[in-house]
Structures are given as C-alpha cells and as structure tokens.
Structure 1
Amino acid sequence: MTTAHRIDVHQHVVPPFWAAGLPSHGGDRSGTVVPHWSPQSALDMMDTQQIATGILSLTAPSVAGWKAVERWTMARRVNEYTADLVAKHPDRFGNFATLPLPDIDNALLELDYALDTLHADGVILLSNYDGNYLAEPVFDRLWAELDRRRAVVFIHPGLPQIQGLAGVAAPMVDYPFDTTRAAVQLVVNGVVDRYPRVRIILAHAGGFLPYASHRFAQLARVFRPEADSPADILAKFKRFYFDTALSASPAAIPALKAFAGSGRILFGSDFPYVSADIADTFTSQLDAYNDLTAEERSGVNHANAWTLFPRLAPKDKPSF
C-alpha cells in the first residue's frame, strides 16, 4: 500500500456535527473555511502520499466557542467519533484527543476518559485559549497530569488576540507566530523543566522558533536577568518535536534540521485544511531534499514517530 510508510502527525478530523455547529458557536474568526472531508477522502489522500497512518486532531478553534457543559459534550462527541474511526482503521488512523479548554476541571476529566477508555494516542492543545497561553499558571494542573501520564501533546496554533492584517489571512502569518509565542513561553517560564516527561510536538516546524531560536536565547536575560543561559535555553528549545506540515520547503528544512537534528522531525500534511495538491507539494519537496541519509529519511517518515507511538511500530521495525 505504501513504500514510505509515513506517519502523519498533523492531519485533521472534521466531524460533520462539529462542522454543522461551528457557525452558531462563534465560527472560525481566522477566515478559514471548513473544508469538505470524509474518512474516505483522508484515506485516498494518504494512499497517494504514501502515508500509512494519520494521527487525527480537531483544529482551531476547537470547541472553545461552545459554553459550559456544551463544550465538554462536544469534546466528548469529537473524541468518541475519532476513536470509532481508529477502531475501524487501527493501522490507518490515530487520535489526538480534544479537551474542553479553557475549562480545566472538565479538561482533566476528559483527559482521563480519552486516554483510559478511548486509548487516544495523545492530546491536542491550542497555543492559546481566549488569549491565555499554555505556560500560564491556570494550566499547571493540566501539565502536571500530562506529565504524570508521560503524554504526547500536539500544540497547534490558535488565533492570537491581535488585530489582523488587511488582506493577510491569519493562518498565513499569525498562526506560525502564535506557535512561536507559545513555545518560547513554555521554555522561559519553566514549563518544560517542571513537566519534563511530556513529549511536545510543535505544528508547522515550530513556527519561527528554529529560525529565530538564537535571538530568543540571547535576549532572554536582557529582559529577565534571572533567565537561563543562552545555551540552556537553546537546549530546551531542542527538546520539542517539529512536524513538517507546510514546512518542508528548501528554505525551511535545512534550518529545521540544523537546529533540531533529524531525530526530532516528524512528517505532517495538514490535510484537509490544505488540499491534497498543496500537501503533495511539500511532501515532494521533502522527498527531493538531498541532505538526509537513508536512516534520517526513514526517521522523518516514520521511525521518529515510533518512539512516540509504539503501537504503530512493527515488531521487527524495518527501516523502509
């Protein structure tokens, strides 16, 4: 069925009931149009791009527009819908569970259900919820439980609470910017130190983090004299994993590899919020990038993901 056996850690699920309810629950203020999607369309795309397994997640704005108990109910419906897809296609799909944030109490309850009953592969968090970023104290109880469980966390950008640019849709520029804000704050505010057992994947190659990492590390003590040394900050940035969704270009991949090393790079498509054609453009650029050994290439395609999702690793773990 495939030769690359890619594991796609950045692939989205679009449950029909969620798509139908979104317009009356705040809509998507980023300007994104909810795409047509079905499980079969996902499988068809995966087959054309040699993707063995797609780890499905609900994209921004997630369930934040629902209120009170309705938010938890919608998160539960999304998680059960996705878990059912995994049950029907256990080798083809995985599940990053949705939590009803910013409601921490119910998020913790849903985390238990998603991991213990539905056996989700991890959770998806947005970079911010109502302008509150993930390194702020309100999220400490959630991080503590994720750390206790050694969970895999996929951080996807959300819409920052800033005025948008005329003619420039938020997903073009503001989304990678918001991932960068969240990642830098997680390091400089000590979250990655306090909860070191959480494995964090940053969407879209970490936004601008690899490219500007040395700037962030050098300037930290200028504004916070108690900040860690530049070398320590850089080392902590490199503890993240980074997916290739919309980020496998000849301009991005060399910088990402130079910063993170090939062992922290995971394949991502961003389907269906980018078309199969756009996803294929970046997949083709990744395949054409020559500065990867055969072992490194298999790592990016699947072997690096096996360390995070051992259920997907074959018992004999072939490289190709």
Structure 2
Amino acid sequence: MKTKSVLVSVFIAVTASLVQAAPASIEDSIASHASRDGIALSVIDSTPTILAAIADTYRDKGVEYTQGNRRRSAKPVVRRGVGNIFDVHSHAIPDWYRAITPFAGGNVASGSGGGFATPQWNVSAHMAFMDTIGISHSVLGFTGPSANAYFGDKARTIALARLINEQLAAFARTYPDTFSFFASIPLPYVEESITELKYAVNELGAVGIALMSNHEGLYLGYDLFTPFWEALDGLGGRQIVYVHPTTPYLKVNDQWIPANPYFEMDQSRMEFYMETARTFMDLTVKQTIHNFTNTHFVLPHVGGAFPVMIDRVLKTMHTDLYEASLEIYRTRFWWDSASPTYFHQIGGLLAYDIPKGNLLYGTDFPFINAAVTAADFESIMAYPGLTDEEKEDLLSRNYQQLFGDKLHFS
C-alpha cells in the first residue's frame, strides 16, 4: 500500500508540474517553440503585437493552435470561373509586416525599400480577388525582403522568419481549403535556416519553402549555402523551393547599397527579372541544381530574364553543363505565369522544349491588381501555343504533379 501511495503522489506531482509548465495561450505556445529552437522573439520590438495578430487569426475562426503537418484533407472547392484554378504565386501581407517593411523588396534598416509602397492586404480581400477569376486555392508566401528586413542583424532575421511562418501556418490552418504556404527561411544564417526549414516543413506543415533571389547580397549558389541545400535535399521525397526576386544589393564598406542603375524605373518591373536570371544562373554554374536531385524549383514570371541567358552563358562558358542543365530545366523546374508573360514572353521559354505540363498559374496578388490580372488571364486563354486542354491543365491540374502528396485531394 505504501508503495502504491508513493507512486500516486509522484504521479500527481509530475502531472501538476506538467500542467504548470504547459503554455497558457497561443502566444505562449509560439514563444515556447521558438525558445526550444534557440530563437529570441523579443529582439523584435513589435513581437507582442505580432503574436496577438497570429493568435487572433486562430481565434477568429475558433481553430486550435496545434503542432503537426496538417495537410489538405479535401480537394479545394471550385468557386466560379474557368475550372478549379490553383494560384501558386500570391502573397500575404498582414498589417504587422507592412509596418516593419513599408517598401516592398528592400530592407527597413537602410530605408531603401523596393521603390514602391507595400500594398494593404487582408484575408477577406484576398478571397474576394480569388472569386473574380475562379481561384479555389492559393499558396501564400511573403514577398521581398521576407525575413531579411534587418540586414546584418542575425537575431532579428531569425526571429522574423519564425514569426512569418507562424503567421502563414495560421492562415493555412484556419482556411485549409483556401490556403497553403511556402515558408520563409532566414538565410544567410545557415545553421538557423536548417532549424527553421525542419520546423516549418515537419511541424507547421509548409508545402515548400520560399527563398529570395539573394539574401543580403548573396545569391543562392553561394558556397556558404551548400549545407542548407544538403539539409533540404536530405529531408527525402520531393522538396519544393519557390524563388522570388528581390532588390539586388552590393555590400560596400559594410553597407548594403541597392544595385539598381536606373532609379527612374520601378525596379520590380525590370531588376526583379534580372534577379531571377542571376540567381538561377548561379545555381546552374555552381551545379547546385545538379547535385541536389530531390529539389524542385518554381520560377516566377516564367523565369524572368533567365531563359534569355541560358544559351548565352552555357553555350559560351559552360558547354559541359548545357545538356544536363536543360534536362533539369525540363523536369525539376516549374514556371509560373505571374505578370504579363503570355503575350510574348512565354514563347522564348517554350523554345527550349520546356514541357507544357510544367507550366503553372500565378497571380502575384496583391502586387498585381485585379484589372491587370484579368488581362493576364485572358492572354493565357488567347495564347495560340497552347491547346484548350493544355490551358486547362496549366490553370487546374499541373500543380498536382508538382505537389503530389503534399496536398490531398478527394
């Protein structure tokens, strides 16, 4: 009896300690997970406001904050329009993030911005936009600078990436039939980026990751990043990397200077296309895409200026990589339609014999407004280089081949 009494007392004591240690709120749970991973969220002054906004996302719909990869349990609902349209390129911009980075593409420390004000955004407006052309499901990500709003500040970059991913997970868990998300990664801090990668994919349920074309001026094939690519590829199965262009920078005397030679032009219109070319050519000549074969890449704006550069660079300087690279571009590269890309630009990409099954639909909402998006959509529907069936595949089916079991369908 005495032994039984002792065991009961120990059980009660242990249970009491666990209850006492259990997080009391969503905010506490998020902070606890961050602390476990060595992340100090408090280094960002607005963290209490951010945590409250994330918690409110759950509470507004009565959804619990839970761990685990909560995959889509059913096929996204068809709203209206042509087919069951899937948007692989759209952005979430909660008010708290717009307060941190009021100019898209740049970093708050330098005040350089990306040349244009970060637009307002909310879930209701996003869903209303989706209804205008019949989008049933969107993959959300943060645009540039993403987690790199504080150049050179390791602690705040790491903390911001975690807060971004908790917010994106909140949107995806609260509206699972409508949203999935690409996780933010705090490169150039490689060890911490590996930690965030595993947390976002394995615990928050990200369907892939979103990288910027450069992180603090370092392009994605940079040798420093090799351990990150090894960790990503080592997760097993197909890993999806969405690469979004951001402001190009040069580091001069320990300061980051926007490398835009033509300030009269909004750099998102021209330099962003060049950024996609720079970073994917870097990934090619450094053979990152050749060495890590589980990884698939989504290129925005049907590759920006990258297709134009393929023959020029690989046919003149890296002829030994030419055929192997083309094979990768045709198999593990996926090309979204965001921006006015199907008037003429798409023809240059398809000239490389890119399979039409690797073409995806993207809108770039809210950076491209509804009127421009409608015109872009009509240009796809009018494009003579695709059959009606291929257009329907681009809008509503090709994404299933990319995401596979990362999304579930009825």
TM-score between the two structures when normalised by the length of structure 2? 0.72
Superposed CA offset, 1:104-129 (max 9, x none): 12111111111111111100001111
Q: Bigger radius of gyration, 1 or 2?
A: 2
Superposed CA offset, 1:153-191 (max 9, x none): 001112112243031111111101010111111112110
The match for 2:291 is: 194
1:217 has 2:314 as partner: yes
The match for 2:369 is: 275
Q: Which moved more, 1:40-49 or 1:298-307?
A: 298-307
Shift of residue 307, structure 1, vs aligned partner: 1.8
The match for 2:20 is: none
Q: Cα 1:27–1:203, aligned 2, differ >3 Å: closer, same or farther?
A: farther
The match for 2:125 is: 41
The match for 1:261 is: 355
1:75 has 2:154 as partner: no
1:90 has 2:176 as partner: yes
Aligned alpha-carbon RMSD (Å): 1.8
Which residue among 322, 345, 348 is the counterpart of 1:230?
322
Give, in whole Å, the separation in 2 of the partners of 1:185 and 1:208: 13
Look up the equivalent residue of 1:237 and give its one-letter code: Y
The match for 2:192 is: 106
The match for 1:120 is: 206
The match for 1:314 is: 409
The match for 1:131 is: 217
Gaps of 5+ in 2: 1-78, 103-107, 250-258
Give, in whole Å, the separation in 2 of the partners of 1:78 and 1:163: 27
SS at match of 1:250: coil
Give, in whole Å, the separation in 2 of the partners of 1:121 and 1:18: 22
SS at match of 1:199: strand
Q: Which moved more, 1:296-305 or 1:88-97?
A: 296-305
Superposed CA offset, 1:13-42 (max 9, x none): 102211112255445522121001101111
Gaps of 5+ in 1: 222-226, 316-320
Give, in whole Å, the separation in 2 of the partners of 1:264 and 1:47: 25
After TM superposition, list the pairs within 5 Å mapping 1:59-74 onto structure 2: 59-66=143-150, 67-74=153-160
The match for 2:333 is: 240
SS at match of 1:45: helix
Look up the equivalent residue of 1:283 and give its one-letter code: F
Q: Cα 1:230–1:199, aligned 2, differ >3 Å: closer, same or farther?
A: closer
Shift of residue 88, structure 1, vs aligned partner: 1.6
Which residue among 152, 167, 192 is the counterpart of 2:240?
152
Shift of residue 72, structure 1, vs aligned partner: 1.8
2:147–2:164 CA contact under 8 A, matched in 1: no
Q: Which moved more, 1:161-170 or 1:101-110?
A: 161-170
Which residue among 15, 20, 26 is the counterpart of 2:99?
20
SS at match of 1:29: coil
Give, in whole Å, the separation in 1 of the partners of 2:188 and 2:399: 28
Q: Cα 1:163–1:254, aligned 2, differ >3 Å: closer, same or farther?
A: closer
1:31 has 2:126 as partner: no
SS at match of 1:219: coil
Q: Cα 1:28–1:76, aligned 2, differ >3 Å: closer, same or farther?
A: farther
Look up the equivalent residue of 1:241 and give its one-letter code: W
Shift of residue 77, structure 1, vs aligned partner: 1.4
Shift of residue 229, structure 1, vs aligned partner: 4.8
Q: Percent same amino acid at aligned positions?
A: 29
